[in-house]
């Protein structure tokens, strides 16, 4: 094992060791020691990833493999604890470790006063471990282990403040809904093994590239099962309802889930298994349809939100939709590029939102904010940088990656004009809800009652400044993924001038619409009418989009209530009665034996004599029978 392989092996083990120390002795340590352990471990992983990037992956075709130990055998196929680092997993590792480090640094200040700080940081470390295992795994079993680990950590962190019933419910909702997708993924892995005889990612990709699948329908079914897992983790239709509710967790958790870990896992899975997906044009088309519809749905829902974190949650759904659009059109590299730039500006937006929430004494309703540009100028400026990148304005990282996706959608021979129009309309919706958020939150009059706490710790500002820089120049850091993800779309072409100008103009058109609709009302509203959200009418349509488009209601009446009804009418079925009979018999015998221990000596003597008589009678009967 050479130095690079050793460093690769240690990448996930730095935060794993920190996690083990935090859960065993963290409660005995002070804030500083816990911070050094947790943040320092992720820093070591981030530094290791950067070292590998600059020393090995200056050559985009480079690959590092390291096998730690044999795990188990399935027939003649080995499943090992082994990692593979290529240009795709290198991008993901850099995002997970480096953005994760900045979020950990911010969290050390944000959660400093929490009584269970060590437990929180332990869970955050475990989240990084699970995601690193997921992206570095060289086989699908190990990938699935990381996949499930990410789901577990999201449950633990979303419900970290579980004393609040809403937080606990949000954690359970996220866990259950993502388990639906995980079930599809597990079945897909079984089918892949059945038809390829392997669970090694490289061997499956080679099998698919040789087109050795005997039946095209099998490829389509496998791709759909893998897509089922991806839409669950990445909060795409129809398994997207958990993500807005997941905002109940601490804000650093929201940043980690949206920027560096969980919701990007589904995009990575499709990109990693692209050799299987490209064999089924129908599956690719469905990937794009899911991405496009989620993009539009999330944009409409974001327009009706009053919670600053829920607005950002829906914006994440829409940006993941862009990535899915790109993947379905065959623009795999562009989808991963947008994943990376999205990590920069979405982490920035969530963390600045966290600083705003703390400055306003945990107020999250944007209608009770207003005028924050004057009261929190530094935080406001950093938030504006994140918004500019989200809008894909020129000179930002988002501009480079999102415009590349829109260009590829126009040129794709399989996508068609419908998906290009979806992307453009989605960009318009993004602009409207982003400027709505900016105008209501940062301009006009301050509509809150509590005093704004303008001074924030240095540990909060440093990650925000670095993320702001990445949100601007991050487009220059895009990796060459051509050796892993083939370009099947453009061959260097670009869309015509008119359509290009139309796509570029949507942020400005959205800004104009938002200014006309929201800016005057935000300026007039005061603290006295803020509670009524007087800026916007509370119509049924508004409530419909605020509730996420009615999906929770549909699931309630189509799935939850029928299941609860069946469970109720079968609460005393045959199996249940057998279990209850065993319980009754055990209870009856226990009661009889308990009654015999009454403390009366005469009763004990009588029982002793009776026992002797029974034993004597039994012995005499046996002797008589033998004679």
Same domain? For 501 and 357 the reply is yes
* Domain match, 245 and 172 both: yes
Question: Does any domain span residue 183?
Answer: yes
Domain boundaries, position 611: 572-626
> Per the domain annotation, does 493 fall within a domain?
yes
Mean pLDDT for back-to-back runs of 10 residues, the chain (627 residues): 90 96 95 96 96 85 89 84 94 96 96 94 97 96 96 95 92 95 96 92 91 83 97 95 93 93 94 94 95 97 95 97 95 93 96 94 92 93 97 93 90 81 95 96 87 83 96 85 67 62 88 90 62 62 90 92 86 76 84 76 85 89 74
- Examine the domain organization and report whether 423 and 505 are in the same domain: yes
- Residue 158 shares a structural domain with residue 286: yes
Residue 93 lies in a domain: no
Pick from 35, 51, 44: nearest CA to 11? 44
130-140 b/e with 16+ CB inside 10 Å = b? bbbbbbbbbbb
Co-location of 144 and 250 in the same domain: yes
Q: Coil, helix or strand for 532?
A: coil
Same domain, 185 and 221: yes
Tell me: do 450 and 591 sit in the same domain: no
Question: Based on the domain organization, do 473 and 324 belong to the same domain?
Answer: yes
For the chain, what is the domain count?
2
- Last residue within a domain, chosen from 553, 585, 611: 553
**Residue 33: inside a domain:** no
- Beta-carbon contacts of 136 under 8 Å, excluding residues fewer than 6 positions away, are 8, 11, 12, 83, 84, 85, 89, 93
pLDDT of residue 620: 86
Give the end of a domain, one of 553, 581, 596: 553
**Does 432 share its domain with 515?**
yes
| Beta bridge partner(s), residue 79 | 72
Instruction: Examine residue 46 and state whether it is found in any structural domain, yes or no.
Output: no
Rg (CA), the chain: 29
What Å distances lie between residue 164 and 157, 158, 264, 282, 431, CA to CA? 13, 11, 28, 44, 34
Question: 10 Å Cβ neighbour count for 455?
Answer: 5
Same domain membership, residue 505 and residue 592: no
Q: What's the CA gap between 38 and 47, in Å, rounded?
A: 15
On whether residue 371 sits in a domain, the answer given is yes
* Co-location of 197 and 167 in the same domain: yes
Question: What is the pLDDT, as a whole number, of residue 502?
Answer: 82
Burial of 214 (0-12, 13-18, 19+ CB in 10 A): exposed
Query: In this predicted structure, what is the pLDDT of residue 491?
Result: 53
Handedness of CA 239, 245, 248, 253 (dihedral sign): positive
Is residue 68 included in any domain, yes or no?
no
- Residues 534 and 596 grouped into a single domain: no
Last residue of a domain, one of 553, 582, 613: 553
Q: Is 90 inside a domain boundary?
A: no
Q: Please choose, from the candidates 289, 187, 191, the residue with its C-alpha nearest in 3D space to the C-alpha of residue 228.
A: 187
Which pTM does this prediction carry? 0.89
Asked if residues 311 and 305 have their Cβ atoms less than 8 Å apart, the reply is yes
| HSE-up (13 A, CA, CB side) for residue 163 | 2
């Amino acid at each position: 094992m050479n130095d690079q392989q050793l460093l690769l092996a240690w990448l996930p083990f730095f935060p794993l060791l920190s996690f083990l120390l935090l859960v065993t002795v963290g409660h005995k340590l002070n804030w500083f020691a816990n911070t050094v352990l947790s943040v320092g471990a992720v820093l070591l992983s981030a530094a290791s990833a950067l070292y590998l990037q600059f020393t090995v992956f200056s050559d985009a075709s480079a690959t590092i493999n390291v096998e730690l130990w044999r795990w188990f055998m399935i027939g003649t196929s080995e499943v090992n604890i082994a990692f593979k680092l290529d240009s795709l997993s290198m991008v993901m590792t850099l995002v997970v470790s480096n953005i994760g480090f900045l979020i950990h640094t911010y969290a050390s200040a944000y959660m400093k006063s929490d009584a269970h700080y060590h437990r929180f940081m332990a869970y955050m470390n475990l989240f990084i471990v699970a995601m690193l295992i997921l992206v570095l795994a060289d086989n699908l079993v190990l990938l699935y282990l990381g996949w499930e680990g990410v789901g577990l950590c999201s449950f633990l962190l979303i419900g970290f403040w579980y004393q609040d019933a809403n937080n606990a419910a949000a954690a359970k909702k996220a866990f259950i809904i993502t388990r639906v997708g995980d079930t599809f993924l597990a079945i897909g892995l079984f089918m892949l093994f059945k038809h390829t005889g392997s669970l090694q990612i490289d061997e499956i990709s080679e099998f698919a590239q040789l087109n050795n699948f005997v039946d095209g329908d099998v490829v389509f079914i496998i791709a759909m099962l893998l897509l089922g897992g991806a839409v669950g983790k990445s909060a795409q239709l129809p398994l997207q309802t958990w993500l807005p509710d997941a905002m109940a967790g601490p804000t650093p958790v929201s940043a980690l889930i949206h920027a560096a870990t969980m919701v990007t896992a589904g995009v990575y899975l499709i990109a990693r298994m692209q050799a299987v997906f490209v064999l089924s044009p129908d599956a690719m088309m469905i990937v794009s349809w899911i991405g496009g519809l989620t993009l539009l749905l999330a944009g409409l829902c974001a327009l009706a939100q009053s919670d600053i974190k829920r607005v950002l949650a829906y914006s994440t759904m829409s940006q993941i939709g862009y990535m899915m659009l790109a993947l379905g059109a065959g623009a795999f590299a562009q989808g991963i590029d947008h994943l990376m730039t999205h990590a920069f500006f979405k982490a920035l937006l969530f963390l600045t939102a966290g600083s705003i929430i703390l400055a306003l004494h945990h107020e999250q309703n944007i209608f009770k904010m207003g005028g924050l540009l004057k009261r929190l100028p530094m935080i406001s400026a950093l938030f504006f940088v994140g918004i500019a990148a989200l809008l894909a304005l020129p000179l930002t990282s988002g501009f480079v990656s999102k415009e590349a996706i829109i260009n590829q959608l126009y040129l794709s021979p399989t996508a068609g004009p419908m998906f290009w129009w979806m992307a453009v309309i989605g960009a318009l919706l993004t602009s409207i809800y982003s400027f709505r958020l900016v105008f209501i939150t940062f301009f006009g009059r301050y509509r809150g009652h509590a005093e704004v706490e303008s001074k924030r710790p240095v540990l909060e500002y440093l990650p925000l400044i670095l993320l702001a820089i990445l949100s601007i120049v991050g487009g220059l850091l895009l990796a060459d993924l051509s050796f892993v993800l083939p370009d099947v779309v453009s061959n260097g072409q670009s869309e015509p001038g008119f359509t290009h100008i139309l796509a570029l103009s949507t942020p400005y058109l959205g800004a104009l619409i938002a200014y006309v609709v929201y800016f005057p009302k935000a300026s007039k509203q005061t603290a006295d009418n803020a509670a009524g959200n007087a800026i916007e009418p509370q119509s049924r349509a508004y409530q419909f989009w605020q509730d996420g488009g009615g999906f929770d209601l549909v699931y309630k009446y189509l799935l939850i209530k029928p299941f609860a009804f069946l469970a109720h009418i079968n609460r005393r079925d045959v199996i249940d009665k057998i279990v209850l009979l065993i319980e009754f018999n055990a209870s009856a015998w226990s009661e009889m034996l308990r009654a015999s221990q009454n403390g009366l000596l005469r009763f004990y003597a009588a029982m002793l004599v009776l026992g002797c008589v029974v034993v004597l009678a039994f012995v005499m009967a046996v002797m008589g029978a033998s004679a």
